[in-house]
């Protein structure tokens, strides 16, 4: 097919050409005296993205899912209780992993389209007088429904009852595009991956652990081996890895961190808010459709899940967009399959790239008989972006 594919799944995201080029490297000896420079540089650079001075970034050769497993197996004992909320496919999968690894999950089930409820976390923590709950899990940005949760509010709930549990946050589709603050929010493990806000291919599990999480690792007895934090931390201290790292991914990450530094993290976060505003204008004001996210407090700045009207199949819109217009939209997962299509708006993006996604989604919906007005989404996004600008954020 002539022209380019328009990649608007919420991960993998577009990899900028300069990062692609940075990854085209000959292989080298990962035990050489020169190698530590690269390791130490990327780990240091990641601290800024996590907003941490005390935390330790760790890179596993995995996707984000591996870092979910690392958090659980490094810090907990078999059978420990964790508190978690489920409101979409990703929060569901982390809970499913907890159960498969032998943890007991105290579940806060929430309707898909809403976020993590701080009041229900508080009630569960308050009732847990004996501190049986060892970890509190939150999915900061539920990519399946386009819902962002209030992580500081969960931390506040924990603090208000002096609960000693660890706080684990899934920031896979938030880190580097929605504000995340490791130290200020006292997060113990932040789980992320390379293929979303960091603008890289999948293949690096990007995580950060607090001093408290590393202390828990010293006594936690759940079996773990490949994903052992201590093997990593020990080797990383001198710039090496306990096993062969993906060298191109590390060079790509180095370039991604330079790219982020050049634009400025706060500017990037602000750009995501601004771009998301245009997409939401297209969906709600232009097409007259609804988001899966039920209220503005939950609207995600990195992904919008768009409900197609009753009686239509969102999967057909996605298929039409791909086969006819070379546009990749995100699928509806699990409970919302057929009901939503998703536009990912994170990473290396600008207004006109997103116009491609909006125009293409609109054409595909019209082709499937969905009664949206031709040009209405594009017009609404155009008005939004022409009348707004990236709002500078104060450095956090």
In the complex, which residues of this chain contact ligand PLP (CB under 6 A)?
11, 63-65, 90, 139, 141, 143, 170, 172-173, 193, 202
Task: Please report how close the Cβ of residue 383 comes to ligand PLP at its closest, in angstroms.
Answer: 30
Of residues 46, 38, 334, 395, the one with CA closest to residue 193:
46
Q: Which is nearer to ligand PLP, 210 or 300 (CB)?
A: 300
Which of 85, 66, 81, 98 minimizes the C-alpha distance to 139?
A: 85
Nearer to ligand PLP, 301 or 362 (CB): 301
Smallest distance from the beta carbon of 357 to ligand PLP, in angstroms? Answer: 18
Q: Which two tokens stand for residue 324?
A: 């006819």
User: What's the closest the beta carbon of residue 138 comes to ligand PLP, in angstroms?
Assistant: 11
Helices and strands per DSSP (H, E), number in the chain: 13, 14
Shortest spacing between CB 172 and ligand PLP, in angstroms:
4
* Residue 42: CB minimum distance to ligand PLP, A: 18
Question: Tokens 């130490």 identify what position?
Answer: 40
Residues 6+ apart with CB under 8 A from 125: 83, 133, 136, 157, 158, 161, 163, 165
Comparison of 19 and 70: residue with beta carbon closer to ligand PLP = 70
**Minimum distance between the CB of residue 304 and ligand PLP, rounded to whole angstroms?**
14
Long-range interactions of 367-370: CB distance < 8 A, separation 24+:
367/320, 367/324, 368/312, 368/313, 368/316, 368/317, 368/320, 369/312, 370/308, 370/309, 370/312, 370/317
Q: What is the 3-state secondary structure (H, E, C) of 229-245?
A: HHHHHHHHCCCCCCCCC
């Amino acid at each position: 097919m002539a022209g380019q594919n328009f990649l608007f799944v919420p991960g993998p995201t577009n990899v900028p050409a300069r990062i692609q080029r940075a990854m085209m490297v000959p292989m080298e000896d990962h035990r050489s005296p020169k190698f530590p420079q690269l390791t130490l540089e990327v780990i240091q650079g990641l601290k800024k993205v996590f907003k941490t001075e005390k935390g330790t970034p760790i890179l596993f050769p995995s996707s984000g899912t591996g870092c979910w497993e690392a958090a659980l197996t490094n810090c907990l004992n078999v059978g420990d209780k964790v508190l978690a909320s489920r409101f979409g496919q990703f929060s569901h999968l982390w809970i499913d992993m907890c159960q498969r690894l032998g943890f007991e999950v105290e579940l806060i089930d929430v309707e898909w389209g809403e976020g993590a409820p701080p009041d229900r976390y508080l009630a569960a923590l308050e009732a847990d007088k004996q501190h049986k709950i060892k970890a509190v899990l939150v999915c900061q940005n539920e990519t399946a429904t386009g819902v962002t949760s209030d992580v500081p509010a969960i931390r506040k709930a924990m603090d208000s009852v002096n609960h000693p549990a660890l706080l684990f946050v899934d920031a896979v589709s938030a880190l580097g595009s929605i504000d995340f603050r490791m130290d200020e929010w006292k997060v113990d493990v932040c789980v992320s991956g390379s293929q979303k806000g960091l603008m890289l291919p999948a293949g690096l599990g990007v995580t950060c652990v607090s001093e408290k999480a590393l202390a828990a690792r010293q006594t936690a007895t759940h079996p773990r081996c490949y994903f052992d934090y201590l093997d990593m931390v020990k080797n990383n201290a001198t710039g090496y890895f306990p096993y062969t790292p993906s060298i191109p991914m590390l060079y790509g990450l180095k370039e991604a961190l330079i790219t982020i530094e050049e634009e400025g993290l706060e500017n990037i976060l602000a750009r995501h808010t601004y771009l998301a505003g245009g997409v939401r204008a297209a969906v709600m004001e232009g097409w007259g459709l609804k988001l899966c996210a039920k209220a503005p407090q939950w609207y995600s700045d990195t992904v919008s899940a768009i409900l197609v009207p009753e009686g239509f199949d969102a999967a057909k819109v996605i298929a039409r967009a791909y086969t006819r217009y070379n546009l990749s939209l995100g699928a509806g997962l699990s409970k919302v399959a057929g009901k939503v299509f998703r536009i990912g708006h994170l990473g290396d993006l600008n207004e006109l790239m997103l116009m491609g996604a909006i125009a293409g989604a609109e054409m595909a919906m019209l082709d499937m008989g969905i009664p949206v007005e031709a040009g209405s989404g594009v017009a609404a996004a155009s008005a939004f972006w022409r009348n707004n600008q990236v709002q500078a954020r104060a450095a956090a």
